[in-house]
């Protein structure tokens, strides 16, 4: 599913534009595409951090990235991140409940 795009004027630091130019050359895409790729990669990382801290729901993250919830789990796994409850967290919660 192709995401809708909207134009947005933006001032960027020179170094970021140089990075985009480098990516554009390496990936054989234009500068605008390289900038979108870099922005999307940062958005993915930020959303995964929000998910780990419990600040956003899985479904909202999937909606914002225009993908499935399963794709979010795969993305997290590829980056070595754990989403949701862990066995350690479960044990700590049980201990807190016991008093």
For 1-38, the pLDDT digits (tens) are: 466 788 989 999 999 999 999 999 999 999 999 999 99
Q: Could you tell me the pTM of the whole model?
A: 0.75
Separation of alpha carbons 84 and 26, rounded Å: 36
Buried b (16+ CB within 10 A) or exposed e, 38-66: eeeeeebeebbeebeeeebebeebbebbe
The full set of domain ranges for the chain reads 14-98
Give me the helices (H) in the chain, please.
Answer: 14-27, 31-52, 58-65, 69-78, 87-98
């Amino acid at each position: 599913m192709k995401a809708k795009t909207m134009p947005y004027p933006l001032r960027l630091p020179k170094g970021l534009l140089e990075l985009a130019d480098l990516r554009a050359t390496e990936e054989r895409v234009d500068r605008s595409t390289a900038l979108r790729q870099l922005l999307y990669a940062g958005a993915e990382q930020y959303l995964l951090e929000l998910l780990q801290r419990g600040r956003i729901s899985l479904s909202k993250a999937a909606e914002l990235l225009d993908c499935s919830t399963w794709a979010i789990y795969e993305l997290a796994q590829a980056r070595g991140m754990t989403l949701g409850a862990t066995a350690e967290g479960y044990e700590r919660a049980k201990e807190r409940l016991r008093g």
